[in-house]
Amino acid sequence: MVSEVGRIRFYLPVVFLCVISWWISPTAIAQQGISSSGDTALPDAPAPVQIPSFATEDPQQATAASITGTILDTNQHVLQGARVMVTGRSTSAVRSAEADHNGQFAFIELPPDVYQVTVTGPGMNTFTSSPISLHGGETRVLSVTLSVFGGATSVTVSGDKEELAEQQVQIALQQRIAGILPNFYSSYDWNAPPLGAKQKMKLSLRSIIDPVSFLTTAGMTGVQQYRNTHPEYGGGIEGYGKRYGANLANHTAGILLGRGVFGVNPWTETQS
């Protein structure tokens, strides 16, 4: 009996250790699994790359316009050193430049406005353009042909056909034979755009009110007075006045109807 009690006392600690070992082992294994799973976890996804935003375009640059061009003589040779001036209508600011060795000039970063271009050269006719309307971001390219003083000047502007025709009208109004007699209905540019009704009427009215037209009519009336043409008008100042009025009316009607209303494009008639 004593020996059995002794054996029981001997085995109790052993059984106790076995129970403790059995209880501890699953917990350790679970902890080890958790630790190992943490060691083998996938790396964190990379943070999204932030693309730097580009600076927005300067509003002033976005609305800036430009005028560029080339200066030529009548032989189509470039005119180096020709003076070019650009004047804005709103600000009245004047910018100037000289044509380079290629006869080219450029005015950049111009604010939207209505501009007028003036080109001068030693011994050459001065060219003054009609108003050129520039909008934001727009570029106008001019090709100006200057002649020796007393000749004709032409210009080609890339843009609307009506604006090109207006440019040719401005050139025509500066053309005079020997600097005196008007030569409005001649064009020396084979690429001149056809005139619209507005341009033809403008040329007609300008021809009618030109001082040379009044002087020519007065001279013709004097000859008729001397020869007593249309004797029904009588003589003296009264007769001269009647003849002058009739001649002026005939001249005005002929220009308005023949050139302004029913006339064909004058450029196709007189280009040379």
- The answer to whether position 88 is within a domain reads yes
Tens-digit pLDDT profile for residues 26-77: 544 444 444 444 444 455 555 555 554 444 445 555 578 899 988 988 887 8
State the total domains in the chain: 1
CA distance 150 to 69: 23
Tens-digit pLDDT profile for residues 190-206: 556 677 777 788 888 88
pLDDT score of 35: 46
**CB atoms near residue 141 (< 10 Å):** 14
CA distance 96 to 107: 8
The CATH code of the domain that includes 153 is 2.60.40.1120
CA distance 81 to 99: 5
Tokens read off for 76? 């189509």
- The answer to whether position 69 is within a domain reads yes
- The answer to whether position 44 is within a domain reads no
In the predicted model, is pLDDT for residue 22 greater than 90? no
pLDDT score of 34: 44
CB of 107 closer than 8 Å to CB of 118 = no
- The answer to whether position 143 is within a domain reads yes
Mean residue pLDDT of the chain comes to 74
- For a pLDDT cut of 70, what percent of the chain falls above it? 65
Structural domain that includes position 152: 60-159
184 falls in which pLDDT band (50, 70, 90)? confident
In the predicted model, is pLDDT for residue 208 greater than 70? yes
Tokens read off for 16? 């106790």
- The answer to whether position 85 is within a domain reads yes
- The answer to whether position 47 is within a domain reads no
